[in-house]
Amino acid sequence: MKRYIFLTANIHPIGGMQNYVAGKAVYLEKNGWKVTVFFWGDNKGTCAMTSMNKYLSGGMTELGMPPGEWPRRIREQVLNRMVRLIGAMDPADEIIVESQDDVLALWGELLAARLQAKHMCFICNETFRGPKKHYDQYLDFFNFKHKRRELTCIHKESMGKLFAGYKGVEDKEAYYFEAANEGPVQNVDNEKIDAIEKADWNICCIGRSDKTCVDPIMDGIAGFALSYPQKKIQLLIVGNVDDRMEWLHQKLDKASNLVLTCLGDLVPIPRTLFSKIDVVIGSSGCAECSVVEGVPTIVSDAENSLANGILGYTVFSAIFKNSQTVQLTYELALKQVLIDKIQDSLPFQWEANKPASYYYDQHMQFTAESEQSRQYDTDVCRQAHVDMGKLIKYYVRKYLPHMMSYYDSAKKKKGGKKEV
């Protein structure tokens, strides 16, 4: 039997990683793989992407912290639980473990060693330093994976950023992959979209509300609206923002000509949405799917959250700026698109992605060409220590979730930010 095991982010919400895992899981199953998904988070409720509901049993709160920050007993309990959920295995089984961020890569290495499986790190993060990031603590481990060609990142510049200050990365070793998903935009009917009225300008934001770029984006939109009080402006938000409504109104209500319309999670995104908007603000996959639909798209930089420019016209990456990028505020970027219309006098240069299966085939080929000997860096706990404060917070979140939800909600209402 062929088994493919994902270690990924919380699968309840919708975002780039969730879309990617959902699409790749379908591809793998069609090609004879038995798929298991483990994720950090609880296994209650339902997923925004209904195809992911069958994987909810794989939710494990402990996966949100490096394995070395847990007592050995709990670490073993987590690994044993994973093995039980995977089910009976045969020594002849082909097993691949795919992990998608720094902490999950550490757990993935321990699990792969337990199963004698292949472990590939398909890193979906866009930034590698800062709060809640652990890459710089485990660069020896990631170097081990890189040398074995078992490490690949989401952008051609990402590998150099991951190893910044540790080693240089030659272009030929800057492995990167396309975190593709099949058909995020489709021809489907949706009453919410049908009900959208056309303002003078309809601005659309697509993506998770906990990204660090949301704060400057909202400030930029409010500032732009205040600069043109004679215009009726509608802000359409795609994504669940229920727990940030009070904060959003504090940001936006200063502009009386700005109307907020929240569309919630849209799976898939109806193609008709793009016929009703004048500009999109987003990054990564959200920006890429928008520009393909013919709407001017302002790209948010993954590192500093400033606007990089108009995708396909003044900037040609949906994630990072480059040496030629002239960054600007979102207020100025909106002026460029809606007032100056600079895109009308520039050539459009953007190549639409191939079908997702094309990229998944490439993933499997990259895996096949990596080092095939079964060697593991199982000493991934060497630089960590058990932090009782973190343990208490995790257990409160796990066993008293309502208490933590009040805490999280209060943080968001105050404009508290979470890392990408």
Average pLDDT over residues 96-106: 98
**383 has pLDDT over 90:** no
**416 has pLDDT over 50:** no
**C-alpha to C-alpha distance for 143 and 163, rounded to whole angstroms:** 8
Please name which of 316, 297, 301 lies closest in space to residue 127, comparing C-alpha atoms.
301
Q: Where does 185-345 sit in CATH, by number?
A: 3.40.50.2000
Helix 139-147 and helix 102-115, axial crossing angle in degrees, nearest 10: 60
Sign of CA dihedral 292, 293, 294, 295: negative
**403 has pLDDT over 90:** no
Percent of the chain with pLDDT over 70: 93
Q: Could you tell me which residues come within 8 angstroms of residue 397 by beta carbon, excluding any fewer than 6 positions away?
A: 61, 404
Helices (H), 133-272: 139-147, 158-162, 191-194, 214-227, 245-252
**359 has pLDDT over 60:** yes
**401 has pLDDT over 80:** no
Strands 258-264 and 269-270: unpaired
Q: What is the DSSP string of 109-170?
A: HHHHHHHT-EEEEEE--S--SSTT--GGGSHHHHHHHHHTT-EEESSTTHHHHHTTTT----
How wide is the angle at C-alpha 101 spanned by C-alphas 96 and 106, nearest 5°?
65
User: In the numeric block, which tokens belong to residue 378?
Assistant: 């199982």
Structure confidence at residue 255 (pLDDT): 95
Average pLDDT over residues 81-97: 92
2-182+358-386 to CATH, choices 1.20.1070, 3.30.420, 3.40.50, 3.40.1350? 3.40.50
Structure confidence at residue 420 (pLDDT): 35
Average pLDDT over residues 384-409: 67
Confidence of residue 418 (pLDDT cuts 50, 70, 90): very low
Please name which of 295, 333, 330 lies closest in space to residue 314, comparing C-alpha atoms.
333
Task: Report the C-alpha dihedral over residues 244, 245, 248, 252, rounded to 10 degrees.
Answer: 180
Most confident of 203-212, 244-253, 356-365, 379-388: 356-365
Structure confidence at residue 397 (pLDDT): 66
Does this model's pTM top 0.75? yes
Structure confidence at residue 398 (pLDDT): 64
Confidence of residue 99 (pLDDT cuts 50, 70, 90): very high
Structure confidence at residue 271 (pLDDT): 94
Confidence of residue 413 (pLDDT cuts 50, 70, 90): low
SS3 assignment, position 244: helix
| Residues 267-325: tens digit of each pLDDT | 889 999 999 999 999 988 889 999 999 999 999 998 899 999 999 999 999 888 887 88
**C-alpha to C-alpha distance for 311 and 291, rounded to whole angstroms:** 7
Same fold, 2-182+358-386 and 185-345: yes
| Domain boundaries of the chain, sorted by first residue | 2-182+358-386, 185-345
Confidence of residue 411 (pLDDT cuts 50, 70, 90): low
Confidence of residue 207 (pLDDT cuts 50, 70, 90): confident
Strands 151-153 and 201-206: unpaired
| Residues 10-66: tens digit of each pLDDT | 999 888 899 999 999 999 999 999 999 999 988 888 998 899 999 999 999 999 999
Q: Of 412 and 58, which is predicted with more confidence?
A: 58
Confidence of residue 417 (pLDDT cuts 50, 70, 90): very low
**C-alpha to C-alpha distance for 10 and 64, rounded to whole angstroms:** 9
Mean per-residue pLDDT of the chain:
90
**Beta-carbon-side half-sphere exposure of residue 55 (alpha carbons within 13 Å):** 28
**407 has pLDDT over 70:** no
**92 has pLDDT over 90:** no
Structure confidence at residue 88 (pLDDT): 85
- Radius of gyration (Cα) for the chain, nearest Å? 22
Lowest mean pLDDT among 154-163, 345-354, 365-374, 382-391: 382-391
Asked if 126 and 155 count as a contact pair (C-beta separation under 8 A), the reply is yes
Q: Of 45 and 368, which is predicted with more confidence?
A: 368
